[in-house]
Structure 1
Amino acid sequence: MKTEEYKSIEDLLDRFFEGRTSNEEERVLYEFFARPDIPAHLERYREVFGYFESGIALDFSETPELRLPAKESSNKRKIGWAIAVCVAASLLLFLVNQLFMGTEEVINPYEGSYIVRNGCVVTDLDRIQPEIEAIYQAAEAAEKEADLLLCDKNERKFISGMADRQVKENYQSLLRSVQDDRLRKEIKNILDSDE
């Protein structure tokens, strides 16, 4: 009979560890492992069921209340991640910018320039750069002088046009003031012949 009981206990153990036992079957297991005469091959389970029996029998109202630390709200966590991602992206953009923009060479506007002196081509920038700058300054000065001359010419033309208008107005006024037709024609012929 003991062998059948042990076989039944072994079946209950399998079901227990698979989570398929009822409360009554578990009570049978607890009572079995509480006895002093257990076969050696089942002795290893005594401590497990002793814990379950004593752990379940505890009155939890007497134990102090344990509180878990409050979790941060998920919104704070999301905001924290968003800030971290933004900082990482900014840092990455800064590093990429430094990588590509920092390697740019200084461009010399005179690079590739040359001067022909006595049939020889001179390409040494240290020797020709002062001459190129002098030519550039002379060109700027000539451009300024041309602008001044153009302004002066336009100004004279404007003044001349104003004088011509004044002369024409005086001419018209003179002709209107003469009452005699024959005399008016004669004055007109004299003034028109001077132009």
Structure 2
Amino acid sequence: MNKMIKKGLTTIEAENLLEKYYEGATTVEEERQLQQFLSQKDLPLRFEADQAILGYFAESRPETKKQASIVSFIRWSSVAATLLVGFFLAKFLFSNQVQLNYAYVNGQKITNIKEIKAQAMASLQIIASSPDEVQASTRDLNNNEIINQELAVFSSNH
């Protein structure tokens, strides 16, 4: 039972160190010895759980590095692709000077933003200068006769 596996710790010493490790009482040197012991091939099956818990797999280390480099490559490639798509999208959106601001005034399309603002301010001035018109419009909203006339127009067309 006190068989020596390669050079280093015996299985009994390793079991004692594992117990000490799980209690949180190992030194850095003892943990290094455990790592070295658990990284060996052909360990008894009773150490398999400890290898899994502590993450010491000697044969999987190069594969893990390879997987990490693949993941890193994919991550950086996706970042580069996103930046490239963002660049072309921004270039497309800002190079095509599409008129997004326009208004129709008396049936005429106006695209000059300054003229649109001037027309809007003029309309607001007219409304502000004649409060009677606004009050008359709101009074009509409460007039049942006008409401019934409007409803009759819609019901006769359908």
Class of the TM-score when normalised by the shorter of the 2 chains: 0.3 to 0.5
Computing the radius of gyration over CA atoms, which structure comes out larger, 1 or 2? 1
TM-score by length of 1: 0.27
TM-score by length of 2: 0.32
